[in-house]
Structure 1
Amino acid sequence: MNFSFLSPDAGVCTVRLWASGRYGFSLPKKVEISTALGVTHTFLYFNKKVRLAAELSKRTIVNIAIAQFLRGDHKGLDAVEIDADTPPYDGELTSLRPAVPRAPLRVRPGKSHARMKPTSGPPTPE
């Protein structure tokens, strides 16, 4: 998940969420916030709730990390732990999508159009 937001001090910042494990369910989750000057700050989320409560959503984790970043909680440290009790950032987030080409459509070999050979012009007599 990649986002951008406007910081009053650092200008346009980009946010990247790293979730380890299959489908991103494993912990810790890492949020990297990069400023327009190229400085990157890292925030880590560990679910410490013992009771049977749902884990914070990925978007909520991103919003809390942004709120801590804007508050200045990074203080030059390599990585800062995300405090789940921090009120989340309520500003606008812009979703960033990578500009990679889409994968080609898959064609099953049993379909008749999959067996047809493309012709580049009229058939030539032999």
Structure 2
Amino acid sequence: MNTSTVVLVFCALAVTFVSGGDMKAEMHAQVEKCIIETGVDPSVLKSLHETGGANADENVKCLGACIMKGLGVMAADGTVNLDKAKSLVPSDAPDHDALLAAVEECHAEKGANDCETAHAIGMCMHKKHVGPMD
């Protein structure tokens, strides 16, 4: 599966911040692991990107939480580690400041559970259109 597709789908989950080097490989491995754990069909991810994730089902929402937890951005209780999320924003990203501002604004989004929280963060970041996500 194309890692950039997942990045586009979740837009703000910590996944969107890890675009280079070793983190890209770590992200890809985490995405693959979480797809298996949640049972998400990778073929639905393109349509999710097209709708900004508005049509995400519970499994897709939990995929986001799984990825965030695997990358150390979300704790087991669903709280977001803002410092960790910010640390994943590449310092050489052309939109570095915009990404940091969006992370700062969106990290506090909350849902009824960790899956809903991950989805709310992703929706917030999608609305911010924070840079190219490839």
TM-score, normalised relative to structure 2? 0.26
Which protein is bigger by CA-based radius of gyration? 1
Structure number having the greater strand percentage: 1
Structure number having the greater helix percentage: 2
Tell me which of the two structures has the higher relative contact order, counting C-alpha pairs closer than 8 angstroms and 6 or more residues apart.
Answer: 2
